Amino acid sequence: MICPQCQADNRPDSRFCHKCATPLQMDKNGPIDQTLTLEISPAGLTRGSLFAGRYEVIEELGRGGMGRVYKVYDQKIGEVIALKVVHPEISVNEKAIDRFRNELRFARKIGHRHVGRMFDLGEADHTFYITMEYVEGENLKSFIRRSGQLAPRKAISLAKQVCEGLSEAHRMGIIHRDLKPQNIMIDREGSARIMDFGIARFTEAEGLTGSGVMVGTPEYMSPEQVETIEVDKRTDIYALGVILYEMVTGRVPFAGETPFAVLIKHKQEAPRNPQESNPLVSEAVTRIILKCLAKDKAARYPSAEELYEDLTLAEGELPQAEKGVMTGSFRGAKRLAKSWVWAGVGIAMVMAFVLIWYQFLRKEPARTIGDEADRARRVYVAKPPQPPPGPEAGAERSPGQKTEGVTSLFSLFSPDALRKLSQKEIRDILNFEKQMANIKGVIPQGAAFDETWANAYQKVREGNRLHEEGRIEEAQKSKKEGQDEMQKLLTMVAQRDKALEAKSFLVETKGKLRATRGIENNVLYRVASRREQDAEKAFNNSDFSGSRTLCSVLEQVFRLSGQCADANACLKSLAVLMANMRSAAENPASGKIDPWLYEKAKACEGNAQRALVQNDHEGAADQYIQAAFLYQKMIDSTLL
């Protein structure tokens, strides 16, 4: 084989040039084509550049064995995401790319609050890239370095969150294989998110590592990975044990001068008791860590669920007044003292700046109301306000007028109307937006939210105006209407939480059924799977109540599908379920029923009976599910 660098002649099975050590990049099909021109600079993407015609680079987040990760703005969907550009030597390996594309198809299905979502695998300029969810925060490795030894309560809390994410992935048959603190992000709320699911499997693709080659990060590799034998979910349990050890002690259990030395220790040495490094670690936590780090995987926790249960018990045994810093540790005390010094310096600088700023404002000429309105509009409105169409374009928005995409209440006013606002009205708008921001952060933004938000403000503002005119009764009525609008937002939040909980139960039940042999041929399973799309569509359209009701019905249907194999038996069980819901809806204790929903549900029952006569099992199942949904909707409405 000819070296592409120095043109030296090498043996056909050589992986590196014997003269210049250039990788020859062999796979089973022969040498990889070295003539392909790659457009990505070795220095990576530059800030502000446009990649793949849609991703505007904001900054580089990090780099690793697969490639570089960037924070980018997706111009097509208008969101900030993370983009991993795969190294050129991996991009040209077609077998590796094909295998990872197949792995990604499964990894992207993991939908859990403690797992970072992976979106897609794309190609641009002969270079492959992966798009994924961007999590604002820091990775766990950085958090440990900054904090030193984490308090056991904090470490257990993070480990439990990782357990939840692993449990969902393992239920779907997906193993991470490279779990480490660098792949766990801590967001602004302190919640853990597992990243890079499926990418570790990518590096095991044929042609990259070959058969029998170790894959992973040495400090977090399990003994079976060292032996290059088959791995399972207990491999991730081992890695989590290493991470938990590192969180409570500030160091990994096995360290060495070379990666090979670390691997040998994972295989042969027993870890030191974590209590030697941190006396605050309880006996229960110590037992959990050492069980996770058992050399024989049969001696470890068989599942993330069992590990989660023991962590919960250990958490309950911890003292409530536990502190997050070892007061006897000189290193921790020194870090704490330094942080207080810098905090004091920062506070002094802020106070000085505020004093100077206040003195400067006292000497500044008084601003006019129009100046204040213009300043507020420049600060809080990203785009100039678009007047509504029609003959009244440019006029102030009336309370009943529709609006879409409201980014700030200032955008509801034309420039002329904005200048007429008083200073008090400007302050009212800013205070109202602060109140709404707390609600807006927890529900999806959209027309439904924006319309309710704008209407609530208009009612409150009208109430203030009426109060100033002495029309107290009318003012109270208007403000009450505004408060009712705000209550709608709170109701949306509550309904969304219930819908998410119902979706979670549905996914869990269906996930357990996937391992059942021949379940895909079950009539209830097939029809419920199709109906699942309707529940998702309702959720995306902010119909949280309808989505929750349908998810709860489908969850029961999936359970029935696992209890019967024969189509006739399944339909009989479904008919019984539907009849029970009808009885509950007809129960006088449940309150007055909706006659329209009731008649529609009865019609669906008749359709199901006709479908049975025609031997249309799927049609009958679909109509029974629709009837059950309507009856359940009547039951839910009487409970509100």
**Adjacent-strand bridge partners of 193:** 185
The 8-class DSSP code of residue 274 comes to G
Start-to-end Cα distance in the chain: 76
DSSP category for residue 2: B
* DSSP β-ladder status, 184-187 and 26-27: unpaired
CA distance 431 to 112: 35
Block residue for tokens 């983009």: 83
Token reading at 108 = 């992207």
Helices 283-292 and 152-171 cross at an angle (nearest 10°) of 40
DSSP of 143-192, one letter per residue?
Answer: HHHHHSSPPHHHHHHHHHHHHHHHHHHHHTT---S---GGGEEEETTS-E
What are the beta bridge partners of residue 618? none
Pairing label, strands 67-74, 79-86:
antiparallel
- Using a 10 angstrom Cβ sphere, with 0-12 exposed, 13-18 middle and 19 or more buried, the burial of residue 26 is middle
Q: State the amino acid at position 610 in one-letter form.
A: R
Q: Tell me the two tokens of residue 588.
A: 């006088």
Tally Cβ neighbours within 10 Å of residue 621. 29
Q: Is 178 a catalytic residue?
A: yes
DSSP state of 96: H
Tokens 């902010």, located at residue: 542
Identified catalytic residue from 178, 196, 310, 622? 178
What pairs with residue 129 in β-bridges? 85, 122
- Helices 617-639/523-540 angle, 10° precision: 40
For 410-417, the CB contacts below 8 A with 24+ separation are: 410/376, 410/377, 410/380, 410/381, 410/385, 411/381, 411/383, 411/385, 411/386, 412/385, 412/454, 413/385, 414/385, 414/387, 415/385
Q: Which of 176, 194, 200, 197 is nearest to 113 (CA)?
A: 194
Cα distances (angstroms) measured from residue 275 to each of 93, 244, 279, 323, 370: 47, 13, 5, 16, 66
Q: Please answer whether residues 493 and 443 qualify as being in contact, where contact means their C-beta atoms are separated by less than 8 angstroms.
A: yes
**Residue 60 Cα to chain centre, angstroms:** 21
Give the active site residues: 178
